[in-house]
Amino acid sequence: MRKPMEDSLDLPLRDVLEHMQKHMMHHSSYFGIQAWKCPTDFWMYQEILFETRPDVIIEIGCNRGGGTLALHHMCQNLGHGRVIGIDISLDKIAPAVAAVDGIHFIESDASKCFDEVRSLIGEDERVMVIEDSEHTYATTLSLLRQYSALVKPGDYFIVEDSICDHGLVIPNGPRPGPYEAIETFVEENPDFVIDRDRERFLITWNPKGYLQRVS
């Protein structure tokens, strides 16, 4: 265990990030369920949800479902919204999450179930997308191009873990990865801008990953 904060004020930021990564991956949970989410980013998610009030949150990549459950609780607190969780395998989803009314899980490669997802969303419904799948350049860019069609002006497409190779060195991590996919996407799609104000806590696992549709 590291020294407490008051004795670690000169610790390099890279060491702080590595410490957070270790504990988020292995020692953190939401309502007892592993979530693998940066707490400063998740705070930002609730700000975005409060401001934009989407009808549907699409989470691509659910793992054990801790983050999915947290998003569902945010919708409950707002009194509005529902969650669609997509994962190539739902075997790891905690039973307590799988049984929640208000979360619709789809077991599939997200690139192959787009039509099914779209069929669950009304024409006038507003959507927020959170992409947290395999973090490769090709997959991230493909899903950005595909699922961004569901996002209306004013709403967000969030790409997670663009910190890979851009603040956090992960052995065998994707290079290029989500960060470069985001850059490619916004270069070819002027309807979306990178909202860096959403990174105002400085520590984020989603650098350049808060994409807002503006037109």
What is the distance between the alpha carbons of residues 172 and 123, in angstroms, rounded to a whole number?
Answer: 41
In this structure, what is the dihedral angle of CA atoms 29, 35, 40, 43, given to the nearest 10 degrees?
-90
pLDDT at 14: 92
Length of the chain: 215
Asked whether residue 3 carries a pLDDT value surpassing 90, the answer given is: no
CA–CA separation, 27 and 196 (whole Å): 29
Q: Which run of H or E residues covers position 133?
A: none
Q: What is the pLDDT of residue 129?
A: 99
Q: Which has the closest alpha carbon to 130: 201, 26, 202, 35?
A: 35
Helix axes 66-78, 39-52, angle to 10 degrees: 30
* pLDDT value at residue 169: 78
The pLDDT of residue 172 is above 80: no
- What is the CATH superfamily name and number for domain 5-213? Vaccinia Virus protein VP39 (3.40.50.150)
Q: How distant, in Å, are the alpha carbons of 35, 36, 38, 62, 127 from that of 28?
A: 7, 7, 10, 15, 28
Q: Tokens 């690139």 sit at which residue?
A: 111
Structure tokens, 210: 């808060």
Q: Which amino acid is at 162?
A: S
Of 160, 178, 145, 136, residue with least CA distance to 60: 160
Q: How far is CA 134 from CA 55, 61, 111, in A?
A: 26, 8, 12
Q: What is the pTM of this model?
A: 0.96
Q: State pLDDT tens for residues 22-46.
A: 999 888 999 999 999 999 999 999 9
Q: What pLDDT, in 10s, does the model give residues 105-146?
A: 999 999 999 999 999 999 999 999 999 999 999 999 999 999
